[in-house]
Chain A
Amino acid sequence: MSTAYEPVIGLEIHVQLGTRTKMFCGCELSFGDPPNTHTCPVCLGMPGTLPTINREAVRLGLMIGMALGGELDDRLVFHRKSYFYPDLPKGYQISQFDRPLVSGGSLGDVRLERVHLEEDAAKLTHLGESGRIGGSTASVVDYNRGGTPLAEIVTRPDIHSAEQASSWLRLLRETLRQLGVSDVNMEEGSLRCDANISIRPVGTDGLGTKTELKNMNSFRFIEQGINAEVARQTRIVQDGGRVEQETLHFDPRSGSITSLRSKEGSHDYRYFPEPDLPPVAVPTELFDLARAAIPELPLDREARYVDVHGLNDESARLLAFRRELGDYYEATVAAAGATPDGEAAPDGVTRPAEPADDPADTRRQIANWIGNDLVRRLTAEDADDDAAGDPQASKVTPQALAALVALVRAKSITRKAGGQVLDALVAEGGEPAAIVERDGLAAIGGGDELRPVVQAALDANPDVVEKLRSGNMKPIGVIVGAVMKETRGRADAGAVTQLAREILGL
């Protein structure tokens, strides 16, 4: 027999803050510039230089704290965290220790321990096979990254599966992105995630010995890494062993986990208060500036789309979790005259004289058209999440999409023809009505125009007619298909079926 185990997971997320300059000096942030071009005596740790606090980084940290509902400290207290490594020019990192800027808070179903500010290390590249310092032929340092402002967000151990970890991290990433505090790009390292992982028998409350898993720079690697580590710990415990507290490295290429250092070899960081930065009060205007800059956040927007707009959960989440989609959706809804009562329409959208006849249905249709049809057309086949198409940057204006949805809802064109109109809008922009006219896509509605086409299709398929007459309606699809082919999709399938029945007297 074997006991079932559940994982207990806490995440530590490092977010590079999108300030103009570094945390403690005036060097501009950069990504991809030639190495060591964004440095100065301060961020190189030259003798005699001193740090000064970047207020903008503090403001962004406060915004994170406010968005996550944490308690904000009114004093800024920094410590030194000491260890020797070439990516750390001063031999210590200036970080927050026992007084983080933000304590507590939560996002979704995960509680937060803290959010604190610190400076990023420089970027070390180890030349050679392994990509690690051991066994490398040489190592080079790029100090451009050194000193970049970081917010470290630490969760409580509230996560119980790899999937939950990655979906919560998506939520966090969207929240940070929409806050505008970071570009949260995992591949470029502006969002980095470590996981503290332990397991325990299902139904118990205790916490097992945890390991820290590093270097998971995509959502896929996070799931793979956590699953691999949970499996490893489960095997150890089931074999009667004990999990050792250690720091682990996940290698996404091989899927293997290797130990970086054990607890015995762990650093003594010798934290002590940074004497070059005496504690100072957070200026009150920074609180005000931070508060004023907080937009509606994904979870709130999702709830509004479900509760007020009447969208289903899936559509609501899709639109809420990508700000540009949500904004485009709301502009389209306004252009359609379907903005819910009591909600302000976004600026710059011309609204129709008449409101939509069924605003809730209009909104659902618009959400569908954006989520299913438009984004797919704008997104390259192999693109990942971050490269998904942005309708705001496309040739399809919210007015055009609203008009298209109205045409379909009024059955002036079929949904299939609507897709062709959308193709044209994506390719060249313009007005849906003009495209319908130009390409002859208007729906063939009444029997007068459609009847001869249906008659021709029946005449051309006597074997099908035979089956229909005998009560077997299955082959009606053949007739519908033939009509669609003839009318290039402008016919309504229901109307075709209805006409066929009438002609055959069924």
Chain B
Amino acid sequence: MTDPTTLSAVDQVAALRAGDLDAAGLFAAYRERAAADDTNSFTWLADGPDDAAAAVPDGARARSVDGPEPTFDVPADDALSVRGLPVAVKDLFCVTGVPTASCSELLRGYRPPHTATAVARLQAGGATVLGKTNQDEFAMGSSNENSAFGAVLNPWDRTRVPGGSSGGSAAAVAAGLAPVALGTDTGGSVRQPAALCGVVGLKPTYGSVSRFGMIAFASSLDQAGVLARDVRDAALVLAHLTGAADPRDSTSIGWQGDALGLPSADRLDGLRIGVPTDLLGEGIDPGVRASFDAALRTAEELGASIVEITLPHARHALAAYYVIAPAEASSNLARFDGVRYGNRAAADDLVSLYTRTRHDGFGPEVRRRIMLGTFALSAGYYDAYYGRAQQVRTKVVEDFATAHEQVDLIATPTSPTVAWGLGERTDDPWAMYRADVMTLPQSLAGVPAISIPCGLDDGLPVGLQLSGPAFGEPRILDAAHALERAIGFDGTPPRSGRTGEGGAGGADATSGGGAA
């Protein structure tokens, strides 16, 4: 039969169910491709399908509630089975016994005693872990250049960044090294690399997917998400990530939306799509804008109406985000002190143990954000920074609520630009941070959003972002599916893809930022 890795995940699991494909063979096919990877997308590869499903050592379970280990509800519908599907997992998801470093030098070699709920849910459904993917250290970045495991190269052009922080997950799916991948999105970290790599990236409603076992960046913003080659594949994985609330995560609220299935819509009749004119000002590349406008026309042809709206406070989202996320990060990363786990610097006393371990273990961007966040929470500055940022966040939430009285979905370009060159923005954190200006507002509001490829600009993918109200995923997925079919984007990067001088992993962790 044809190379199974050319099939969509939905078709793969159908073939597995029908007996036309065997799980070991599918896993081996991806394993082989991933082993030959030249984009540096993976930090660890499983030897076989059972490699990452090792038994949890006794006494190492995270007993956050009484009673036995949690069991996970798996979708009953056969069409939503993931049995036998290999999944690539962003490095920051803990998997029992599997190297999990959040791509930080400080945690290199660390093997957690517990598995993230998102991963465990997929495993409960029969999916297997193919490997861990590269990312920006602790998910801090928009280019995947801040990784202790080296930069990831964009499969469309190996001189360019894949976006971040889930750069490895996006590149792996784009390069056909994994059918689907888990990422995390704090300010755009699933959607933006999806856009830059020409794949689908879905960030679900905050609270709908458990954060247990995800090494935290910013707790109130982090959300597990999916990178996939098409919208149906993303929907398939989402059906497994969501379900009952996780008793081990107090921010997990369980799925409260309409039942999730595989989207099949091919029309958008009656759908009102809002375009926030105040977000689409300067800073958007003309080629990106052209692809975006073309996608809006396609939507109209499918029966949708385009409505101009405003999100008056969204332009402040960037500033609020760069207070809230570093503040939470500065606290979340305090546990990395070299005392109990991770790599410890040699030192004669406690203070130098802390300072050397953390100085040597954290990359420059992580150190920058810890300092930003520590400052923002300091006595005398809290109200002016953290308190103020939370007020802005409340306003942004209200903006979205008001907008959704008028429209069903909101559309923007995912990223103002296509993928930029490796090293191009590493000395300019502000330029890097600006890459997420379209994705940060939805993160602050906690609403779901998807990025789908909507065209090429100078041979590089452009992403269209569609967001909706909380638990509006079914409608977002339907609309994205209809648009995806009508746009007909060919997600296969050119085989001959432009290559640069440096090979995979050549770029070291450098200074310079990016959101998440």
Contacts and interface: CB of A to CB of B under 8 A. Distances in A.
Given A41-B114, A42-B62, A80-B331, A52 B248 contact: yes
Contact of B374 (A44, A47, A48, A270): A270
B480 interface: no
A15 B56 CA distance: 35
Interface stretch (B30-38, B375-383, B394-402): B375-383
Interface in A38-58: 40-42, 44-53
Interface in B179-217: 211-216
A278 B251 contact: yes
A382 interface: no
A421 B110 CA distance: 71
Interface in A46-100: 46-53, 80, 82, 84, 86, 89-92
Contacts of B100: 47-48
B364 interface: no
A42 B64 contact: yes
B212 A48 contact: yes
B64 A49 contact: yes
A86 B212 contact: no
B65 A272 contact: no
B328 A21 contact: no
B332 to A, nearest CB: 9
B250 A92 contact: no
Given A49-B64, A84-B337, A270 B250 contact: no
A162 B317 CA distance: 55
A180 B400 CA distance: 49
A27 B220 contact: no
Central interface residue in B333, B335, B374, by most chain A CB within 10 Å: B335
Contacts of B64: 24-26, 40, 42, 49-52
Given A47-B94, A276-B251, A278-B250, A21 B219 contact: no
Interface in A120-170: 133, 139, 141
Central interface residue in A21, A53, A141, A272, by most chain B CB within 10 Å: A272
B495 to A, nearest CB: 38
B505 interface: no
Interface in B104-159: 107, 110, 112-114, 116
A48 B216 contact: yes
Contacts of A141: 339
A21 B66 contact: yes
B340 A44 contact: yes
Given A47-B112, A48-B214, A91 B65 contact: no
A42 B63 contact: yes
Nearest to A133: B350
Q: Is the interface of A mostly helix, strand, loop or mixed?
A: loop
Contacts of B248: 50, 52
A342 interface: no
A41 B335 contact: no
A89 B333 CA distance: 11
B340 A272 contact: no
Nearest to A139: B350
A86 B112 CA distance: 20
Contacts of A403: none
Contacts of B337: 84, 86, 91
A24 to B, nearest CB: 7
A270 B102 contact: no
A47 B335 contact: yes
Central interface residue in B93, B216, B218, B333, by most chain A CB within 10 Å: B216
B334 A92 contact: yes
A348 interface: no
A133 B353 CA distance: 14
A268 B93 CA distance: 32
Given A42-B62, A48-B116, A82-B331, A272 B382 contact: yes
Given A40-B62, A89-B340, A270-B374, A48 B215 contact: yes
Contacts of A50: 64, 211-212, 248-251
Central interface residue in B331, B336, B374, B382, by most chain A CB within 10 Å: B331
A146 B65 CA distance: 16
B384 interface: no
B434 to A, nearest CB: 25
A46 B107 CA distance: 11
A48 B250 contact: no
Nearest to A270: B377
A52 B250 CA distance: 6
Contact of B331 (A26, A51, A272): A272
B118 to A, nearest CB: 11
Contact of A89 (B63, B65, B335): B335
Contacts of B60: 40-41
A265 interface: no
A47 B107 contact: yes
Interface string A5-29: 0000000000000000100111100
B61 interface: yes
Central interface residue in A25, A52, A82, A92, by most chain B CB within 10 Å: A52
A24 B331 CA distance: 17
B327 interface: yes
B341 interface: yes
B63 A27 contact: yes
Contacts of B255: none
B369 to A, nearest CB: 15
B114 A48 contact: yes
Contacts of A45: 335, 340
Central interface residue in A80, A91, A92, by most chain B CB within 10 Å: A91
A186 interface: no
B339 A86 contact: yes
B382 to A, nearest CB: 7
B64 to A, nearest CB: 5
Contacts of A493: none
B219 A275 contact: yes
Contacts of A84: 334, 337, 354
A156 B59 CA distance: 44
Interface of A: 21, 24-27, 40-42, 44-53, 80, 82, 84, 86, 89-92, 133, 139, 141, 268, 270-272, 275-278, 280
A-B pairs, 6 with minimum CB distance: A91-B334, A26-B63, A275-B219, A270-B377, A275-B220, A41-B62
29 contacts: A21-B66, A25-B62, A40-B64, A46-B340, A47-B100, A48-B100, A48-B116, A48-B212, A48-B214, A50-B64, A50-B212, A50-B250, A51-B64, A52-B64, A52-B65, A52-B248, A52-B250, A53-B250, A84-B337, A84-B354, A89-B339, A268-B379, A270-B377, A272-B327, A275-B219, A275-B328, A276-B216, A276-B219, A278-B251
